[in-house]
Structure 1
C-alpha cells in the first residue's frame, strides 16, 4: 500500500467505540496510510418524532449530528497523536449502502473497514443486513472486524480454491494471495494458505464424467486429489508461500476454515468473493456462510478490479 493510500472506517451511529477503531488505526499506522472515519447516522425516533414540529425536529437532528461529529473528533485525537492522518465525517442518511458506494467511488480507498454487526439467522432470513450487501457489492477490499486479539494482526490465513475447470476466475486466487501477502507484510505477521478440498461440492458432469458413481471411484478420487494438490502447490509457490505454510485439508470449507482459525488463534482470514455457479464453491459463497461464524476477523477481496 502506497504512502498516499487511505482506509475508510465505517462506524456505528450510536457513538460506540468498537475494536474496529483500534484495528483500523493500527493498520493505517503500520502502512503509512491515512484514515477516514465516517458515521452514517439515522435514528428512526429522531427522524419521525411526531410530538415536535418540523423545525424543532431539524434542530434536534442537526444537534445529534454535531455531537456525533465532536465525538468522532475525540476518538480521532489519540490516533493523530500516534502519527496517523485522520479525517472524520458524519452523514445523515436512512439507507447507508448507496452512500458508502458513492464515497468509495469519489474517494478511492485501499480498504473499507467495519465492525461486523451480528444478526440472528431469523433476522438475516427476513431482510438482508448492510454487512451482507457490502459483502456482495463493495468494490474494494472489505475488512470485517470481530474477535480482535491484537490491534495489529499477527497470524493471517489466505483461503483459496484454485481448481476451476472453466478457468473463469483464473488469476483471482493469485490476487487473493497478493492481497494477503501485502497485509502480512504490513503487519509483520505470519501467513499461511489453505485450500479446503471438498469432493462433495464438485459435480460429476463438471469434470466430464457421465455418472457420479464413475466420478467417485477410489482411483478417480485419488487422481483428482493429486491434480488439485499439484495446482494448489503451483499457486502457492509462484506467490512465494513456502511448503510449510501450505495446507490442503479435506473437508467442508466452512468447517475447515473455522476450525483452523480457532485452533491456531488466527487474527484475520483473507478470502475471495465471487459468484460462481449460484454460490456453490469456496471462492464466493463461503464468505457469507462463514461471516457470522468465524472466530476471527475477515478480509474480503473483490474481483471487480481483477484486470488491474
Structure 2
C-alpha cells in the first residue's frame, strides 16, 4: 500500500538540517512517490529599488531565483536520490503559505511536508505563521515534521471525535483513521485511536447539589467507549488500541502520544478565518505546540482552500 503519490516538500532556507526533506525522501521511497522541492523567496528591497527599470528588477529577481535553485541542487548532492523522481520549484512570493498552497493545487500534490519549529512567547497566538495557515487552508494532507524518528514497529495515534451530532464528524473520523492506517501500513507501525470526552461541568454540581457527578461521568464515558468501539470495528482495531480519556483534546492527545512514544499524530482540522482563528487557533494548533512527534492534519471531504489559484 502506498502512503502518498505526489509529495510537496517545503525547504527551509535558514536551516542547515532539512528535517522536512529527510522525511519526504523517506516517504517517497516507501511509497514510490514523486517529489517536488519548493522554496518560496522574497526580498522587499528588490521591489523598492526605484532607480532600476522594471526589466532590470526582474533580471535581479531571476538571478536570485537561479542562485537558490543551484543551492537546492547542491543540497541534494548530500542525499541519496537515486531512482527518485524529483522536481525543483523556486518561487518569488511575498506570502509563503500562498505559494505553497498554489503549488500543491497546481501540481495535484496529495501531501505537503514542512518542518515546524518552536515559537517563542505569545507571538504564535496573535500572528499566524505559515504552519497555521497551512493547517487551516491547505486542501491536501499537511505533515508538520518535528524531531521524533519514524522507527519500524512504532505507533501512529489517530485522534477522532465520536458521538458527534453531524454526519461530517463521522466522515472526518473515517478519513482520519483511514489515513492513519495507510501510513501505519507503510511504516510497519500500529494504529491507536484516542477520543477525549468532557468531564462534568463544575457549575452544575455547584448549582444542583443533588446532581450525581459520578454517574454523569460514567454515562458519558460509556457512550464514548461504545461509539469508539463501533468506529474501531470498521478498521478491525482491537480494544487494546482504543483509548477513551477524560479531558480536553489538546491535553489528552499530547499526554497519550508521549505515553505511547508515538511517531505520528493524525487528526482532523477545519479551516478557520478571522480574529477567532488568529487568537485561538484549533485543536491541531494547540496540539502541535505540545508534542515532540510529527503531526499529520486531515481536511474534511470536499474542503476547498480559500487561497485562490
Alignment CA distance shift 1:275-1:93 (3 Å): closer
Give the TM-score, by structure 2 length. Answer: 0.83
- Is 2:302 the counterpart of 1:305? yes
After TM superposition, the structure 1 = structure 2 runs for residues 1-150 of structure 1, keeping only pairs within 5 Å, are 5-14=5-14, 16-48=16-48, 53=52, 58-77=58-77, 79=79, 81-150=81-150
Moved more, 235-244 or 258-267: 258-267
After TM superposition, the structure 1 = structure 2 runs for residues 223-242 of structure 1, keeping only pairs within 5 Å, are 223-242=219-238
- 2:156 corresponds to which residue? 156
Moved more, 222-231 or 160-169: 160-169
- 2:256 corresponds to which residue? 260
Q: Among residues 287, 290, 296, which one is paired with 1:290 in the alignment? A: 287
Could you tell me whether the CA contact under 8 Å between 2:224 and 2:244 is conserved in 1?
A: no
d(CA) in 2 for partners of 1:30 and 1:130? 28
Q: Where in structure 1 are there 5+ consecutive unaligned residues?
A: 205-210
Q: Where in structure 2 are there 5+ consecutive unaligned residues?
A: 304-309
Question: What is the CA distance between 1:68 and its match in structure 2?
Answer: 1.1
d(CA) in 2 for partners of 1:253 and 1:213? 28
d(CA) in 2 for partners of 1:151 and 1:22? 14
CA RMSD of aligned residues (A): 3.3
CA displacement, residues 88-117 of structure 1 (integer Å, 9 cap, x when unaligned): 110011112333222222211121111114
d(CA) in 2 for partners of 1:236 and 1:215? 33
CA displacement, residues 215-255 of structure 1 (integer Å, 9 cap, x when unaligned): 86432332222111100011012112122211112222212
Give the TM-score, by structure 1 length. Answer: 0.83
Aligned length: 295
Question: What is the CA distance between 1:175 and its match in structure 2?
Answer: 0.9
CA displacement, residues 177-218 of structure 1 (integer Å, 9 cap, x when unaligned): 0000001111112221111222358x99xxxxxx98788643
